[in-house]
Amino acid sequence: MIAVKNITKRFGDITAVDDLSFEVQKGEIFGIVGPDGAGKSTLLRMMSGILLPGSGVVEINGENIQSNLYRIKENLAYMPQRFGLYEDLTVEENIFFFGRLFGVSKKEIKERIPALYDFSRLGPFKDRLAGKLSGGMKQKLGLACSLIHSPDLILLDEPTNGVDPVSRREFWKILYTLLGDGVTIVVSTAYLDEAERCNRVAMMDKGKFLRNGKPSDIKKTIGGVMLEIVTDNVWRAEEVMMKHLKNNNIIREGNSLKIFVSSGVKEKEAIKRILEKEKIHVSSVTIKVPTLENCFMEIVADNG
């Protein structure tokens, strides 16, 4: 569906996207995860044709998006972080407005609206002004407006940023419904738990992909195991561990520390001895299955 070939984008001295190449397959959810400033929004803007790359090519279904922009846009939807809803129009008026912008007839819009209301649950609010909607409902309305012309490809730029957990979960249910209908979805997010839900995910930082693949495969690239150390003095324990394990990255979460080590068996006993010698009580040292977030922190630390 998408082939990105050696694209680069610079803004003055800042390289937002640095010589990226990757593919997105038809009918999958491809996630791009990374911190603020990683280059996610710039990448999606180039993939949508809104922003021209400094070098490189983006192809949609084998066609260069720069050469065939208007034809490609007929089957593409792009939803930026701040979707341009008209707050003085109602929910239904916004959908009609965006539908007409895409050249959809009024008759077709009327035929498609019930399906959009069905998955978004916006039907009871169709006469409410968009400006009076909650954050989660605004995002769902933005998605409905993006889908009114029945695109085959959807590009979503951090669609759940600032949205409550319940609305985030509902939004992802909608995405899986679209996936079942054969729609291809590219979504950027700063939430690592959302990246776990993607078919494939790219970990992005400083304009580059640090890893790219299935979440399970990315976890395997870390190597070794992850130890979780639960202690009554996590701050002091972290300080001590940083002195003794200089080549290991230590992640502090609540009252526990998480450390990637080579095997786990010898390290467990060694860590206990080190902390007990410093008179730090250790409740437990256990081997845990790392989350994608744990892996991302390890990968970013390894890449400086």
Q: How far is CA 217 from the centre of its chain?
A: 17
Work out how many domains the chain is built from and give that number: 2
Does one domain contain both 81 and 171? yes
Instruction: Choose the final residue of a domain: 183, 214, 245.
Output: 214
Q: How confident is the model at residue 246 (pLDDT cuts 50, 70, 90)?
A: low
Classify strands 282-288 and 225-231 as parallel, antiparallel or unpaired.
antiparallel
Does one domain contain both 158 and 78? yes
Does one domain contain both 228 and 206? no
Does one domain contain both 249 and 101? no
For residue 101, the tally of other CB atoms under 10 A from its CB is: 11
Does one domain contain both 67 and 162? yes
Tell me: the pLDDT tens digits for 134-157?
A: 888 888 898 888 888 888 999 999
* Distance from C-alpha of 93 to C-alpha of 78, rounded to nearest angstrom: 20
Instruction: Choose the final residue of a domain: 166, 185, 214.
Output: 214
Q: What is the CATH number of the domain that holds 154?
A: 3.40.50.300
Instruction: Choose the final residue of a domain: 180, 214, 248.
Output: 214
Q: What is the CATH number of the domain that holds 255?
A: 3.30.70.870
The residue with tokens 């984008």 is 9
Does one domain contain both 130 and 253? no
Count H helices, E strands: the chain?
11, 14
Does one domain contain both 174 and 273? no
Does one domain contain both 168 and 224? no
Does one domain contain both 153 and 58? yes
Checking if the pLDDT of 111 tops 80, the result is yes
Q: How confident is the model at residue 198 (pLDDT cuts 50, 70, 90)?
A: very high
Checking if the pLDDT of 202 tops 90, the result is yes
Checking if the pLDDT of 247 tops 90, the result is no
Q: Is the pTM of this model over 0.95?
A: no
Tokens of 172: 């992802």
Does one domain contain both 132 and 197? yes
Cα Rg for the chain, rounded, in angstroms? 23
Task: Give the range of the structural domain holding residue 286, as residue numbers without chain letter.
Answer: 220-302
